[in-house]
Amino acid sequence: MRFHECSKAEEEAPATQTPNEATAHEGQAQGKAPKRGETLKTAAHRKPSRQLTGPTVGRGAQPALGGGTHVKERRVLETAKPTACHFCTADNSKVSYKELKGLLESKSVFLIDVREKWEIAEYGQIPGSISIPLGEIVEALQMNPQHFKERYSHDMPSKADCLVFSCLAGVRSNQALISAKTLGFSRAQHYAGGFKGWTEYESSEKK
C-alpha cells in the first residue's frame, strides 16, 4: 500500500528541473532564443532591444525584426522664447505736433482743450479745438448729445471717434485721457506738448 501511494505522489509531482533547463524555459518565455555561439544562460540574461509595436514614429524610427520598430532617442532642441512685438507694446496714447496738425487739416480729429476758460481767453487756443475744462470732462462725455451741443456748440463725440485732449503742457490732458478711456473712448489720445509746445512749433516753422 505504501509503495502504491508513493508511486501515485511521484506521478502528480512536477518533474524537477535543472538550473540550466529552468533558465532556458525562462528565456524562451521572454522570447530570448540563444544565438549562434551563445549558451542558454547567456541568452536568458541578454537585455532585450527596445521595440515599439506600432506605426513608425518620427524620422529616426527603423523597422525591426518581428514587426516591431526600433526608436532612436533624439534630443529636443529648445528655442528661445519669443519677445514681445515692439509695435504691439508701443505707447500710442500720445500724438506729436506733426500728427496732430495732420489730423486737424484732414478734419478727422475731435480736439478738446481742457484748460480753464480764462486761460484760453488770455492766451489763446489751438485752432479747431473746443473748450471743455478738465472738471467738466467726465460729465460732458456722458451727456445727452443734444445737451452737449447746446452747452458746447459742437456735436458730441462718439466712442469710435478720434479724440485728442490738450492743455498747457500735457499734465491735465493726460488726466482727461484717463477719464475718457475709463468711459469707453478707446481711441482717445492726448497732445503732451500742449498749447505751449504748439505755439513753439508754429513760431519755429514761420521763421
The residues annotated as belonging to the active site are 167
154 near 128, Cβ under 8 Å?
no
| CA 196 vs CA 52, 120, 166, 193, 203: distances in Å | 76, 12, 10, 7, 11
Amino acid letter, residue 135: G
| CA 115 vs CA 28, 100, 108, 153, 194: distances in Å | 95, 18, 22, 17, 10
Question: Strand 130-131 to strand 110-113: parallel, antiparallel, or no bridges (unpaired)?
Answer: parallel
